[in-house]
């Protein structure tokens, strides 16, 4: 029998506009940001899309509102500015 999840608090650094989109989506779906990230990760690990067409449409709206205009491919090339 599988045991339930054991969740821990973590501090992660994440791009500001991306976090705003995640928060907006979590609110829209009436779940926590942590639950949203868990779902995205677990679906990704199984090579499944975590979102319906309706949810993807909402994500596009949120990306426009929060000016999030970069892609997953671009994220691999980002370098943080030196302080």
The reply to whether 28 falls in a domain is yes
Number of domains composing the chain = 1
CA distance 15 to 63: 13
Q: Please tell me the predicted confidence (pLDDT) of residue 23.
A: 98
Is the residue at 78 inside a domain?
no
Which H/E stretch holds residue 62? Answer: helix 53-65
Mean pLDDT of 66-75: 86
Q: Is 1 inside a domain boundary?
A: no
**CB within 8 A of 14, min separation 6: which ones?**
22
Q: What is the pLDDT of residues 27-43, one digit of tens each?
A: 999 999 999 999 999 99
Domain extent for 31: 16-67
53 within some domain: yes
Indicate whether 74 belongs to any domain: no
- Using CA atoms, how far residue 69 sits from 33, 58, 59, in Å, is 21, 15, 12
Distance between CA atoms of residues 18 and 24, nearest Å: 10
Residue 21 lies in a domain: yes
Question: Could you give the percent of the chain with pLDDT greater than 70?
Answer: 94
Q: Does residue 75 lie within any of the structural domains?
A: no
Residue 39 located in a structural domain: yes
């Amino acid at each position: 029998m599988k045991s339930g999840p054991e969740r821990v608090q973590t501090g992660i650094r994440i791009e500001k506009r991306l976090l705003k989109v995640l928060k907006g989506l979590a609110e829209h779906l009436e779940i926590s940001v942590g639950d949203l990230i868990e779902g995205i990760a677990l679906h990704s690990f199984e090579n499944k899309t975590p979102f319906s067409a309706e949810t993807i449409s909402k994500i596009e709206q949120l990306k426009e509102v929060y000016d999030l205009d970069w892609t997953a491919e671009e994220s691999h090339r980002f370098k943080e500015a030196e302080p």
